[in-house]
Structures are given as C-alpha cells and as structure tokens.
Amino acid sequence: MNLDLRGKKALVCGSTQGIGKAAALELALLGATVTLLARNESDLKKTCGELSSVFHQKHDYLVADFSKPEELRASVERYLRSTGTVHILINNTGGPPGGPITEAKTEEFIQAFSNHLVCNHILAQAVLPGMKEAGYGRIVNVISTSVKQPLKGLGVSNTVRAAVANWSKTLAGEVAKYGITVNNVLPGATNTQRLRSLIDAKAQKTGQHPDEIKAEMVHEVPMARFAEASEIANAIAFLASPAAAYITGINVPVDGGRTSCL
C-alpha cells in the first residue's frame, strides 16, 4: 500500500490541537511537508516544532482566523503565490456551541455556515488550480457523524455539518477528472478539548456531574470508549495518500460503531 507523501505539501486547518494537530503529525510522519493554519501564532510555532522532519521537510505555518473569511482568503492566496502548490487540504475547525435547535439564534447559523462551509470553499478554490496542474489533490473535510445521524443537543452543528457534506459531494464530482479526491471523515466522540467543553456545558445546564455525562456517552459506543485524536488522524492520512486514489465523495465514520444507520 502506497502511503508515501514525500514531495507532497499539506495545508492543515485547526492544527494546533485535537484532531487537526494529530492529522498534521501523521502527515509529516508519512513524508508530507506541512503548513499549519490556526489563529494563535505561539501555538503554531510550538506545534510546528513537534512535526517530524525525518525526510528533511521544512514545515511552516500560517496565521488566520476563520471568523474573518475574506482575511483568510487574502492570507492563503498570498501564501500560495510565494510557496506554490498545496497537494493536500485538511479542512478542520471547531464546531459551534451546543444547544437545542429551538433555542438557536439566527446569528449562530450564519456564523457556523461562514466558519465551516464558506471558509472550506475559500480554501478549496485557492488550492484547486495547483492540484489540477499537479494531477494530484486530496481534500479531506473533518465533519461529524451528525452528517449521517443528527446528534441531540447540537442543533446548529447538525444543520451546518450536513451542508458541508453536500458541498463536498458536489465538489468531488466536479474535480475527480483531475486526479483530485474529496472525502469527509466523520469523527464520533473523540477525546479532545471540544468534547470536554460540550460535556462541561451540559453539566452546567443540567446539574449532572461531568463524569456521569461522560459515562452515558461512552455507553452509546459499542467499543465502550472515546476515540483518540490519533485514530481519527489515521483515517485522514489514508484518504490523503496515493493509496486512496479511487476513493472520492464518501463519508467515513470513525466512531467505534456508535452511528446506528448504514
């Protein structure tokens, strides 16, 4: 199986913590030269220093904020003019706050749509010309199992994640002829700061102890545990590799069997 990413450049979003960071670490181990993208420069510098350079890669980073899409566009386009082709794009950003959909403000939908779909689209449009020229492109969107089965208490997230999945499927059909694949990884409950924040928020709202909420969530997973970020990263790295050249337009749940639908 060809998992060799030497000579490939990857742009990984939300890459200073959680799944994004784990994906960046894994891609670097496979030989990719990684550009980290997040909004905190000190965290970017620290993470950049943790990436493997066993194949003499020279990793770098880009400071950008997904809450400011036009600034993101300008930063990425400027970066690409100076560095050239990005072969692998990992779209990943933190999800919106939890809560029932009946209580969601319209502004929450607008902000989440911008942070996820609009920014994903900006990045894809920026890197696609180089991917087409290279004859190699991998776009992997980190979304959620709510694409297949909505999750209770995540009304805004469920709505926007589904939109991203349909955007991705449409894009996959349009760019496949250029040797570019577009796929979605759908993490289940994963041991990250995002999950801990959701548990704490629910505990504050319901009065339950966080450990009780965690136990209830684990009980829903056939494997009886949360995922580690590195396990999600393994799926991302495979889809970014030459081995996945004929896989496109799909949703891959990485959830320990929790999602009950096919």
Quickly state the pLDDT bin for 213 (edges 50, 70, 90).
very high
pLDDT at 56: 97
The pLDDT of residue 217: 96
Mean pLDDT for 125-151 is 98
Domains, in order of start, for the chain:
9-188+228-252 (3.40.50.720), 189-226 (no CATH)
Q: How far is CA 149 from CA 66, 95, 260, in A?
A: 26, 16, 8
Quick one: average pLDDT of 23-31?
98
* Cα→Cα distances 194→14, 143, 184, 197, 260, Å: 12, 13, 19, 5, 23
What's the pTM value of the predicted model, to 2 decimals?
A: 0.97
% of the chain at pLDDT higher than 90: 96
Position 250 scores a pLDDT of 98
What local confidence, expressed as pLDDT, does residue 215 receive? 95
pLDDT for the residue 161: 97
Categorize the per-residue pLDDT at 9 as very low, low, confident or very high, splitting at 50, 70 and 90. very high
- Percentage of the chain beyond pLDDT 70 is 100
What rounded mean pLDDT belongs to the chain?
97
